[in-house]
Chains A and B, each alone.
Chain A
Amino acid sequence: MKKGILVSTLFLGASVSLFAAAYKIPEQSLNSMALGAAYVAHTEGADTAYFNPAAMAFMPQKRYVEGGATLAHLPAIDYTLDAQHSGHSKVENIAIPYLHYVGNTIGNWRWGLAVAAPAGLSKRWETPYQKAFAQEFTLKNVEVNPVFSYKFSDRFAVGGGVRLIYSQGKVYSDGSDAGIPLKREMKGDTFAAGYNLALLFKPTNDINLAATYRSKVTLNEKGKANLYFGGAGKQYDASVSIPIPAALNLAISKTWDDRFTLEFDYERTFWSAYKQLDFKYEQPILNPILSQAFDDPLQRQWRDTNTYRIGATVKMDNKLTAMFGFAIDQTPINEKYIGFELPDSDAKIFTMGFRYQANEKLSWGAAFLYDSKKPRSLSQGTVVNNPVLSHGGSFDGGGAMLFTVGVSYEY
């Protein structure tokens, strides 16, 4: 494998997801984590503000607040080709907090607020050839999502809100250990906005039909980039656009005897918005090798995905509620353009959790999610934009284990 080929196609891109396929994070509360995000039609607590604001209209007349945090453990990903080019990523442990609130009703109106991390990723490789492409790719987001609901009748309500997102991105690559004299350091941030819509229809007292839509938000990360050739570097004003894709959820739930609820959720995520990764620099890059490595747009050509979720809520008694979930999650990655930065694959997600009602106002609980990624084997010649992966190889490991604790208070 010639270094020249490597140099000519060196790039960085997105990275492995924390939770679901790619870098969108559906689970943003205790219940949603325990139910594998099958939590759109039948929502109960303050997190209703985030998962289906229309459902706030049917919540009892009081205020709800929930806070918590998720610890994400991302095992290493192993890439196997030959001794020189095989490698593994670092294990990641990331804490992600959340906060939800639902206020009192005002006539047929109700308002709420969600603070969540709708997307995010962190992937760091420590082996030479992988580091050359993705020493670190980190995307942090926080979304402040004020929402409202309007109740048309006892059976139908709509909701919506504004998505206010602050995002920080960090992209590092370093080819020095692989004998490639190229290195990039980039940091940027941005504010972006979108919207979300929701409706809830209750044809019977025990069946809920729901639809939610979260709009695409384009994160135009702006900041500085240091590009190095050999040991010398130059700083540029730089930017890169990454979409948080739009997502449509259609969900149905049925409750039996007020004790057992089953929800089925279909999610369509419009990842096809992610067509290319194009780092832009305000100043021209006059070093032709650096320009080729870091300035040429990188094809992504992702595809829209389907995710199927099922969640079960079991009220064991007046104090304890158990929750279980399962999801089949499709990856949006176009194998032709896969990179070390994003060796994602289809996944099966298993979840479970509980909530304990400590008293009339206070409850708490914990949830666990296991994301099992399907191993991916690459045939020689399949990948067109990575000189190592074009020789084939396989990705194994990865996935995620998440642990969430949450506390709710109603007053």
Chain B
Amino acid sequence: MRQTLYRLMGVAALFVLVGCGTNLDKPTGTVSKNAAVVVDVSGDLIKQKLLRAHFPGIDQNSTVYGEKAYRIVYDSIDIHGNPIKASGYMVVPTGLPDAVTRQLGLSIVLDDHGTIFKNTDAPSVMPSQTLLPGNDTSILFSALGGFVTLMPDYVGYGESKGAVHPFVMKRLAEDSAAFLQAARKVAQENGIKLNGQLFVTGYSEGGYAAMATLQKLEDDGESVAMAAPMAGPYDLNFTAFGVLSQPKLSVPSFMAFVGYAYAEAYGVDIATVINSPYATMLPDLFNGEHDRSEIDPKLSYDTTGPTGLFVPAFVADFFANSSNWFRKAVLENSVSAWAAQTPIRLVHCQGDDVIPFAISQATLQSMQSAGTQNIGIIPVEAALQQAGKGDGHLMGHSECGIYAYGIAAELFAQVRQATIGY
């Protein structure tokens, strides 16, 4: 009987095996060489989204391209110059005429994003989770402008979450340049035809990073069609003197982030820079889990003093000692005085309450003095008014961003039209 039972169970097992197949491959189209497709939506879908959001200048007749976005992991360097895996977000417009995608090729906008604290705000992070286009600047440059948009997450976010972010440091330029190379390789591997034309931009921290990246790219022999750094603290020495001489900090998280990153990069004990108890709180506050609205209330708005953010001795030494380590560091990382070959347009709101417009004015002077021939400054409010798109009211740092990006997108489109022909 037992033998019969075994035989029957054997036949039963055969039944079970027939038609087995529960293995499910990873989603089709999401894996390509060195990159994953995280967003692939049509222009119609984006247009509907923009119409619902009453996006300026968009109506049913507007041309809106689709977006195919890749999350790319590449080799970069951390705040100490050591190798690290970083990530970035490449948005490729879809639905363009064949004449553009097959013959002319696409131009690139390298867009360095502004200050973020929360990892989920990094360009590639949320789109990878939601499969939705997640960034208004990629909408401007790719869906509306037809550019390939490249946005590095920056070291400290995305793939490199956990590493200390090199906040307003030249390391950002090395990271952006590495991402540019990685993105070009992914484009080539995936049949995305590029025409070699490159634009560089960024806002706020990204404005600084854009200027630093431009300098790095020129040093590397890259040709950049135009750069539009926007509202960036290009002259860090000027910025540091300005901020540390004020009794109050408008955004303490920004300056605390500077102190934290620079102390880490230059091997200085953070307790000599930031007062207790804030110094010990910073690793948690800047771990990528908190946004600015959570961080600011936990820090002091007083610049220095016994209850201030910065250690009084540190501030005093910065002003008094020309060989103060932080003074040397901000000079070393300033990107406001060099001879650029690329046409540069500094885009900035005159009403900026975080990065004063005067920084761009000073940078214009120092860049010209250093030998930059083709550089100009575009006050956003005036430009909008001139174009009949604004009433000239002064705009603060946050409000200004999207308008500044609109001006940059228009500038780049004009150059591309005149040179490439689309």
A residues contacting B by CB (< 8 A) are 63, 97, 99, 101, 103-104, 111, 113, 115, 140, 142, 144, 166, 168, 181, 185-189, 223-226, 228-235, 286-287, 290
Q: Are A101 and B132 in contact (CB under 8 A)?
A: no
CB contact under 8 A between A233 and B29, given known A103-B1, A181-B45, A286-B126: yes
B residues contacting A by CB (< 8 A) are 1, 4-5, 8-9, 11-12, 15-16, 18-30, 37-42, 45, 68-69, 126, 128-132
Q: Are A99 and B11 in contact (CB under 8 A)?
A: yes
By a CB distance below 8 angstroms, the chain A residues around B19 are 140, 168
Q: Are A187 and B8 in contact (CB under 8 A)?
A: no
In the complex, the chain A residue whose C-beta lies closest to that of B7 is A101
By a CB distance below 8 angstroms, the chain B residues around A186 are 24
CB contact under 8 A between A231 and B22, given known A181-B42, A286-B130: no
In the bound complex, what is the Cα–Cα distance between A189 and B19 (angstroms)? 12
Cβ-defined partner of B8 (8 Å) among A97, A99, A233: A99
In order of increasing CB-CB distance, the 6 nearest A-B pairs are A233-B27, A231-B40, A230-B41, A229-B131, A224-B24, A232-B40
Q: Are B11 and A187 in contact (CB under 8 A)?
A: no
By a CB distance below 8 angstroms, the chain B residues around A63 are 4
Q: Beyond the given A187-B21, A232-B39, could you list 15 further A-B residue pairs with CB under 8 A, ordered by the A residue number?
A: A101-B4, A113-B12, A189-B22, A223-B24, A226-B24, A226-B25, A226-B28, A228-B27, A232-B38, A233-B29, A234-B27, A234-B128, A234-B129, A286-B126, A287-B129
Binding site secondary structure of chain A: strand
Shortest B2–chain A CB gap in Å is 10
In the complex, the chain A residue whose C-beta lies closest to that of B45 is A181
Shortest B67–chain A CB gap in Å is 9
CB contact under 8 A between A233 and B130, given known A99-B8, A181-B42, A187-B23: no
Q: Are B22 and A168 in contact (CB under 8 A)?
A: yes
Cβ-defined partner of A235 (8 Å) among B9, B27, B68, B69: B27
Q: Are B131 and A223 in contact (CB under 8 A)?
A: no
CB contact under 8 A between A144 and B12, given known A231-B37, A232-B40: yes
CB contact under 8 A between A113 and B27, given known A142-B15, A229-B132: no
CB contact under 8 A between A233 and B39, given known A115-B15, A140-B19: no
Shortest A285–chain B CB gap in Å is 9
In the complex, the chain B residue whose C-beta lies closest to that of A230 is B41
By a CB distance below 8 angstroms, the chain B residues around A140 are 19
Q: Are B8 and A286 in contact (CB under 8 A)?
A: no
Q: Are A113 and B39 in contact (CB under 8 A)?
A: no
By a CB distance below 8 angstroms, the chain B residues around A230 are 39-42, 45, 131
In the complex, the chain B residue whose C-beta lies closest to that of A140 is B19
In the bound complex, what is the Cα–Cα distance between A115 and B15 (angstroms)? 8
Q: Are A115 and B24 in contact (CB under 8 A)?
A: no
In the bound complex, what is the Cα–Cα distance between A136 and B26 (angstroms)? 18
By a CB distance below 8 angstroms, the chain A residues around B39 are 230, 232
Shortest B208–chain A CB gap in Å is 31
Q: Are A115 and B21 in contact (CB under 8 A)?
A: no
In the bound complex, what is the Cα–Cα distance between A115 and B17 (angstroms)? 13
Shortest A357–chain B CB gap in Å is 23
Shortest B186–chain A CB gap in Å is 15
By a CB distance below 8 angstroms, the chain A residues around B68 are 231
Shortest A379–chain B CB gap in Å is 32
In the bound complex, what is the Cα–Cα distance between A63 and B18 (angstroms)? 27
23 contacts between A and B (CB under 8 A): A104-B1, A113-B8, A115-B11, A115-B15, A140-B19, A142-B12, A168-B19, A187-B23, A225-B24, A226-B26, A226-B28, A228-B27, A229-B41, A229-B131, A231-B68, A232-B39, A232-B40, A232-B41, A233-B30, A234-B129, A287-B129, A287-B130, A287-B132
In the bound complex, what is the Cα–Cα distance between A324 and B18 (angstroms)? 31
Q: Which of B12, B19, B30, B129 has the most CB of A within 10 A?
A: B12
CB contact under 8 A between A235 and B24, given known A63-B4, A181-B45, A230-B131: yes
In the bound complex, what is the Cα–Cα distance between A225 and B128 (angstroms)? 16
By a CB distance below 8 angstroms, the chain B residues around A166 are 16
In the bound complex, what is the Cα–Cα distance between A185 and B24 (angstroms)? 8
By a CB distance below 8 angstroms, the chain A residues around B38 are 232
CB contact under 8 A between A99 and B27, given known A181-B42, A230-B41, A234-B129: no
Shortest A388–chain B CB gap in Å is 20
Q: Are B129 and A232 in contact (CB under 8 A)?
A: no
In the bound complex, what is the Cα–Cα distance between A111 and B5 (angstroms)? 10
Q: Are A232 and B20 in contact (CB under 8 A)?
A: no
In the bound complex, what is the Cα–Cα distance between A140 and B15 (angstroms)? 11
Cβ-defined partner of A232 (8 Å) among B16, B21, B29: B29
CB contact under 8 A between A168 and B15, given known A228-B131, A230-B39, A287-B132: no
In the bound complex, what is the Cα–Cα distance between A11 and B84 (angstroms)? 43
In the bound complex, what is the Cα–Cα distance between A223 and B21 (angstroms)? 11
In the complex, the chain B residue whose C-beta lies closest to that of A138 is B19
Q: Are B41 and A233 in contact (CB under 8 A)?
A: no
CB contact under 8 A between A101 and B26, given known A166-B16, A232-B40: no
By a CB distance below 8 angstroms, the chain A residues around B27 are 185, 226, 228, 232-235
CB contact under 8 A between A233 and B5, given known A140-B19, A142-B12: no
Shortest A108–chain B CB gap in Å is 16
In the complex, the chain A residue whose C-beta lies closest to that of B46 is A230
In the bound complex, what is the Cα–Cα distance between A97 and B365 (angstroms)? 86
By a CB distance below 8 angstroms, the chain B residues around A235 are 24, 26-27
